[in-house]
Chains A and B, each alone.
Chain A
Amino acid sequence: MARRYDSRTTIFSPEGRLYQIEYAMEAISHAGTVLGVLAKDGVVLAAEKKVTGKLLDLSGVKEGGYGGSGEKIFLLNSNVIGGVAGLTADANSLVNYARSAAQRHLLAYNEDMPVELLAQKLCDLKQGYTQFGGLRPFGVSILYAGHDPHYQFQLYHSDPSGNYSGWKATCIGANNGTAQSLLKQEYKDDIVVKDAIGLVLRTMSKTMDSTTLSSEKLEFAVLTLDEETKTPKAKVYRPSEIDALLQSEGLIKKDEDAEMRST
């Protein structure tokens, strides 16, 4: 019987549910994990990449762009980094929308768009797709890591229904329950970026399917304040930088050849 209410987003089921929204959320809970932690002096984002493989051409990722491989972590504005979980194509379209919205705000008010406003703007769009004209909702959850003068560093999460909420640390995508309970245990209110990076990477290594972390499966970004100008500084890591970071945190897999030689 549920089928009658399955195929349309705009119609409630007799139990008062919107199935398509729930399915969209379900789709996200199978997507690559995205994890965010809010620290006193910054915000840290990490994401698990799903599209990998030996034959995938990643030469563009290593040199061009602003860092990141363009799958999970995006620079939405100079003061906001977005981490997306769900359908990549839907996410690309939302990222595009967010960037336009942020630039429109900059044009009108000559200031960086406040983070909550940007989250709200995207949620307005997402909500619209749960209500109008037989369209499919966006199968995307987004984490927004940002800074603005109103509330300083912030971390928001938005889901396909158009709800959003602010977090100190949260996780979306596969295994988000495990990650959240880990974060709940380990999070301290006065955590600094340096420790947050460690926390994010450790949690990530525990929740990801693969046992070893490397730049091949990981995207990573940090938003801090520039010490001189006091303006937000978004850094999306390049593969080589991720590997260096994992190395310094002692989380990278041991060099197998070296291990073999020693035995």
Chain B
Amino acid sequence: METSFALIGKGYVIVAADTTSARSIVKMKNDEDKIKTVSPHLLMAYSGEPGDTVQFAEYIERNLRLYQIRNIYPLRPSAAASWIRRSLAESLRSRNPYSVNLLVGGYDTSSHEPKLYWIDYLGTVSEVPFAAHGYGAYFGLSLLDRYHDPEAPLEEGLATLKRCIEEVSKRLVVSPEKYKVKVVDKDGVREVEL
């Protein structure tokens, strides 16, 4: 089942999400990218109701882009997370709310800090050093509690992520087979292989 992880290290945030697209009990696809680059230094991993996720992610992506075009500089990660939270909270109180869970990871180019926000479909936002959504969270969070180090270099961060992913594959009945991993730091966004 859907799983996503994210963690902060020294000057970077790693965001990982599985790549399966499923309908009912059937896997339709296993190379779906569920991490959107919403601005030059901001990543957003989304999971939840299949149609909602893509629709909402595109809405966020276009609006953040519009803000950047209008206002010279892009929204900082904290401001973007607040705005995304508000969008979800407003949607929740509408007739047809989005059911989307998000991990928003970014690098703040004005304070030079990596930032990570955990957001759920109820419009909860919390700034965290590491985060997870989906069934994988039940296995990964304890490992992250034990092994996460906010000052770790990228290799160590990726190793910690790998531990989580391996634990999920080992213990979860319906574990995803593949993950996409992206990193955001002062140079922007890039994809990495585990």
A235 and B80 CA atoms in complex are apart in Å by 30
- State which size class the interface on B falls in: 10 to 19
Which residues of chain A come closer than 8 Å to B75, judged between CB atoms? Answer: 109
Whether A149 contacts B82 by the Cβ 8 Å rule is no
- B78 is contacted by which of A111, A114, A120 (Cβ under 8 Å)? A111
Q: Which residue of A lies closest to B125 (CB)?
A: A110
CB distance from A135 to the nearest CB of B (A): 25
Which residues of chain B come closer than 8 Å to A117, judged between CB atoms? Answer: 71
Say what secondary structure dominates the interface of chain A.
helix
Whether A149 contacts B79 by the Cβ 8 Å rule is no
Q: Which residue of B lies closest to A230 (CB)?
A: B111
A120 and B70 CA atoms in complex are apart in Å by 10
CB distance from A110 to the nearest CB of B (A): 4
A117 and B78 CA atoms in complex are apart in Å by 17
Interface centre among A108, A109, A149 (most CB of B within 10 A): A109
**Chain B 90-130: CB-based contact to A (< 8 A → 1; otherwise 0):** 00000000000000000010110000000000000000000
| CB neighbors of B among A89-147 (8 A) | 107-111, 114, 116-117, 120
Whether B76 contacts A108 by the Cβ 8 Å rule is no
A116 and B72 CA atoms in complex are apart in Å by 10
Whether B76 contacts A149 by the Cβ 8 Å rule is yes
Q: Is there a chain A Cβ closer than 8 Å to B86's Cβ?
A: yes
Q: Is there a chain A Cβ closer than 8 Å to B138's Cβ?
A: no
Which residues of chain A come closer than 8 Å to B79, judged between CB atoms? Answer: 109-111
Whether A150 contacts B110 by the Cβ 8 Å rule is yes
Q: Which residue of B lies closest to A109 (CB)?
A: B79
Between A and B, 13 residue pairs with Cβ closer than 8 Å are A107-B86, A109-B82, A109-B83, A110-B82, A111-B76, A111-B78, A114-B71, A114-B73, A116-B72, A117-B71, A149-B110, A149-B111, A150-B110
What 10 pairs between A and B have smallest CB-CB spacing?
Answer: A110-B82, A109-B79, A149-B110, A111-B79, A109-B82, A150-B110, A109-B83, A150-B73, A108-B83, A117-B71
